[in-house]
Structure 1
Amino acid sequence: MVMRCLMAVLLAVALGLSGCNKDFWGGGATGALGTGAAYEIQSKRQMDQLEEDYKSGKITKEEYEIRKDQIRKGSVIY
């Protein structure tokens, strides 16, 4: 949630500094898409590692559920 707010503020600042030309929107869309994809890739890696840790017995079911909820809150896909 914090990251989404931060991204919105950065977008608003960039809008104010660069104007609303088509080059800005193309670059902004590309940057936002790339950033979003990077966060989702990281979430996927975290979920995979979490599954592995749980299956190997490194963490308990309770720890697994807590961490899984944390990852879901920070992800659009999960």
Structure 2
Amino acid sequence: MKRLILIAALAASAGLTAGCEHPGSAAGGAVGGAALGVGAYEYNAHRQMQQLDADYRAGKMNRKEYEIRKDQIEKGSLFQR
């Protein structure tokens, strides 16, 4: 979780810095927006993994279902591997 927050913060600050170098720069705004979008997407993947683990521990699914869903989440994430 700390790594995810750190990566999102660095990406956001890099995007905002790039946008400040040239006032009105569309590229800087696009980079900043993309960085925030990726951070939000990764945070969602992290939350899904937490919920998946909680459901498995609570006995709401068997091991096979858990592994299938875990693989689906990991395939859609850059950092959940």
Both structures adopt the same fold (TM-score exceeding 0.5): yes
Structure 2 residue aligned with 1:42, among 37, 41, 44? 44
Instruction: Identify the residue that residue 74 of structure 2 maps to in structure 1.
Output: 72
Two-structure CA RMSD over aligned residues (Å)? 0.8
Q: Does 1:30 align with 2:32?
A: yes
Q: Does 1:53 align with 2:61?
A: no
Q: Distance in 1 between matches of 2:37 and 2:76?
A: 13
Q: Distance in 2 between matches of 1:77 and 1:34?
A: 15
Instruction: Identify the residue that residue 18 of structure 1 maps to in structure 2.
Output: none
CA offset digits 1:5-30 (Å, max 9, x no partner): xxxxxxxxxxxxxxxxx501110110
Q: Which runs of 4+ in 1 moved over 3 A?
A: none
After TM superposition, the score normalised by the length of structure 1 is: 0.71
Note the residue ranges of structure 2 that are not aligned, 5 or more in a row. 1-21
Relative contact order: is structure 1 or structure 2 higher (C-alpha 8 Å, sep ≥ 6)? 1
Percent identity between the aligned chains?
A: 49
Note the residue ranges of structure 1 that are not aligned, 5 or more in a row. 1-21
Offset of 1:52 from its aligned partner?
0.2
Q: Distance in 1 between matches of 2:41 and 2:62?
A: 26
